[in-house]
Structure 1
Amino acid sequence: MTVELRHHTALAPETRQDLLNVYADVRAPLLHLPNYRVDVFAERLDRHAAEPGFELVLGYDGEVPIGYAYGNTIEAGDRYWKRMTEPLPDGCTEAPALAIKEIGVRIRWRGTGVARRIHDELLRHRLESRVTLLVNPLAGDGKVQRLYETWGYQGFNAQQPSPNSPRLTAMIRPIH
């Protein structure tokens, strides 16, 4: 298996569609929930793609899109920080950070290291010093959060981004 990783800082129609196809496959068991519907994700994706520092890494096995990670730069005052359930320590938001908004890999390629490769490729050229992400602590009976912990992330707060969203653990780590 040779996986090609492609960087995007804007969403061409074919790139957007490839990402939506992978998302629909990755999130198939959850698509009946309002916050996970493909059309709701597409609206979030379009909003995220218009925000500063947007970057997407999309992985392909041949011509088949198999996984992705994307995020954007967040600074002090960003709604990402404002949604935390607990007060943040002084100075926590002074330096810009990369907020990973989504990571997903199709089932056939899970457990092969593809998710980590896509994640690391997303971070490789970033100028921010820290990266943060949100994870449902119940995903995979906690396996997803434990995986992120093996990647160096530590839980530091929580969010419930919308009324239809589960309570998510906010995790953070240095980029390099």
Structure 2
Amino acid sequence: MSQRSFVSPGRFAEGLDHWTARPGWSCVVGYDGDQPVGYAYGAPLPQGSRWWGGLLTDVPADVPADVTAETGTRTYALSELMVREPWRKTGVARQLHSALLATRREERATLLVDQTHPKGHALYRSWGWTTLGDLRPRLADAPLFHAMLLGLPVAL
């Protein structure tokens, strides 16, 4: 299989089915009038999650050793954030991101950014995300990602 198959419509549909079946899954969809402009979704990582199993770099010395331990309520994984072309670079991505994470009760969020997309990585860094290390998911043809973390305010 080629790397392209990792981002195929079929793979997306499988991933969406996987994420929507998770307890705590949430999604936001943005509209401009009656036009959908983008969406963001994710779910909490379950206890003992395999999310961190593809971590290829050592955890930095200034990060707690248990950073990859999941309790089922510790970390929200932002799986997808997409904005349609006409609405890109208008602030919609930030609005979707903020709306999705605003009511989360987890202490932090994580996401993966494809390392061939440095602008996306820089954008998340500008929103306060920090890079934990390199990660390759244990999925066929998965690209190399930056694993990122963001502390979340406790929602009331």
TM-score (norm 2): 0.85
- Choose from 122, 139, 142 the match for 1:165: 142
Q: Supply the distance in 2 between the matched residues of 1:124 and 1:102 (Cα, whole angstroms).
A: 16
Q: Spell out structure 1 runs of 4+ moving beyond 3 A.
A: 86-89
- Aligned partners of 1:85, 1:146: CA distance in 2, in Å? 21
Query: Conserved in 1, the CA contact under 8 Å of 2:48 and 2:70?
Result: no
Q: Deviations over 1:47-76 (max 9, x none)?
A: 110012100111111222111111100144
Gaps of 5+ in 2: none
Equivalent-residue separation in structure 2 for 1:158 and 1:77 (angstroms) = 20
RMSD of aligned C-alpha atoms?
1.7
| Higher helix residue share | 1
Q: Percent identity?
A: 38
Q: For residues 122-142 of structure 1, what are the alpha-carbon distances to aligned partners after superposition, in whole Å with 9 as ceiling and x for unaligned?
A: 011100010110001222xx1
Q: Could you state the TM-score of these two structures normalised by the residue count of structure 1?
A: 0.75
Aligned counterpart in structure 2 of residue 48 of structure 1, from 19, 28, 37: 19
Counterpart-to-counterpart distance in 1, 2:55 and 2:107: 20
Number of equivalences: 143
Number of the residue aligned with 2:89: 111
Show the counterpart of 2:130. 154
- Mapped pair 1:60 → 2:31: yes
- Identify the structure with bigger relative contact order (alpha carbons < 8 Å, sequence gap 6+): 2
What is the CA-CA distance between 1:87 and the residue it aligns to? 5.0
